[in-house]
A and B are shown apart, each in its own frame.
Chain A
């Protein structure tokens, strides 16, 4: 029934969705909280330099594994392009 063979299988879609979903579930960090964190980070860094808030990327990722997948340490990953290092 793969009429659209160029599309991902629904199984793969489910796995991809779950992976992202469970990372945020496990660290109990909702998208709303992420937005608040993002806003605060912008506020702090903007005190010292001019940053590109439109193109910044902040997310929680699972990095490295200890014994099994459940014990992956979540990492807050932030990629913030700097427009001007000496704005102040």
Chain B
């Protein structure tokens, strides 16, 4: 964290959640791709050793030769482990090992690799594994800021709260919330917590609301992140990217003409 000195405008963002299956990898892939679409040099790092998935979501699984563990162990240079994206200039993926365990990398080694990548990239995005053990410690070690992903469910919010506590304890100053898989119809019925409810409980700044969108599954099937598309989730991810870049973007109207979203937006515009 304390790397203010010698930092050349590269931002290192960890995408984390505590609970599994809430959309960390999807968020990492879309945010990374979205930043690259805007001309940024982006390196995505999968830190989920043993259960890597970012490569398949990005559709780059057939190009892996070396991985993060190879870099750490000195089997290859950092450059050799970076896979260039199929579609977007300036987007690279560093996959992790599938046949090793989390203890193959230490937080210190992680910081070293990130320091190296910072020289070449505008953004380094770390896809954190679920849980709060070594994999989490590795992922947050070299990061400047965090995106905490949650869904509007009790279990996911509880874990997100724990993660926020741990990030704060580790000195993180910038922790933003992504609420994934919201369903407007259920919120209207009173059967799902709204974005406002979740933000009230977790009390951290909101950076994105992603509606539950079947196109996410389709895009994952195809290995092409949907950021930048006209689908609801694609628009939501584009907006997150804009906000990461520091632009103020109103929160999207998930369904036409719902005053609820204006309410949410209102809260964050006053902050």
User: Are chains A and B native binding partners rather than an unrelated pairing?
Assistant: yes
Contact between B203 and A11, CB atoms less than 8 A apart: no
Which of the residues B154, B161, B165, B200 comes within 8 Å of A17, measured between beta carbons? B154
A78 at the interface (CB under 8 A from B): no
B contact set with A: CB distance below 8 Å: 153-154, 157-158, 161-162, 164-165, 168, 187, 189-194, 197, 200-204
A contact set with B: CB distance below 8 Å: 1-2, 9-12, 14-15, 17-19, 21-22, 25-26, 68-70
Q: Report chain B residues within 8 Å CB of A10.
A: 190-192
User: Which of A2, A15, A26: most chain B CB closer than 10 A?
Assistant: A15
Contact between A9 and B190, CB atoms less than 8 A apart: yes
- For the complex, give the distance between the alpha carbons of A86 and B219 in Å: 74
- For the complex, give the distance between the alpha carbons of A17 and B154 in Å: 8
Q: Which 7 A-B pairs have the closest CB atoms?
A: A9-B190, A69-B203, A70-B203, A68-B203, A11-B190, A10-B191, A14-B154
CB-nearest residue of chain B to A15: B197
- Kindly list 20 other residue pairs between chains A and B, CB separation below 8 angstroms, not including A1-B189, A18-B157, A69-B200: A9-B189, A9-B191, A10-B190, A11-B191, A11-B193, A11-B194, A12-B190, A14-B153, A14-B193, A15-B193, A17-B154, A19-B201, A21-B154, A22-B161, A25-B162, A68-B204, A69-B202, A70-B164, A70-B168, A70-B204
CB-nearest residue of chain B to A65: B203
- For the complex, give the distance between the alpha carbons of A17 and B161 in Å: 14
Shortest CB-to-CB span from A44 to chain B, Å, is: 31
Contact between B165 and A26, CB atoms less than 8 A apart: yes
Shortest CB-to-CB span from B198 to chain A, Å, is: 9
Contact between B161 and A26, CB atoms less than 8 A apart: yes
Q: Report chain A residues within 8 Å CB of B161.
A: 22, 25-26
Contact between B190 and A18, CB atoms less than 8 A apart: no
CB-nearest residue of chain A to B165: A26
Q: Report chain B residues within 8 Å CB of A15.
A: 193, 197, 201
- For the complex, give the distance between the alpha carbons of A47 and B128 in Å: 53
Shortest CB-to-CB span from B29 to chain A, Å, is: 29
Q: Report chain B residues within 8 Å CB of A25.
A: 158, 161-162, 165
Contact between B158 and A22, CB atoms less than 8 A apart: yes
Shortest CB-to-CB span from A67 to chain B, Å, is: 9
Known: A18-B157, A69-B203. A11 touches B162 (CB 8 A): no
- For the complex, give the distance between the alpha carbons of A15 and B192 in Å: 10
Q: Report chain A residues within 8 Å CB of B192.
A: 10-11
Contact between B187 and A11, CB atoms less than 8 A apart: yes
- For the complex, give the distance between the alpha carbons of A12 and B191 in Å: 8
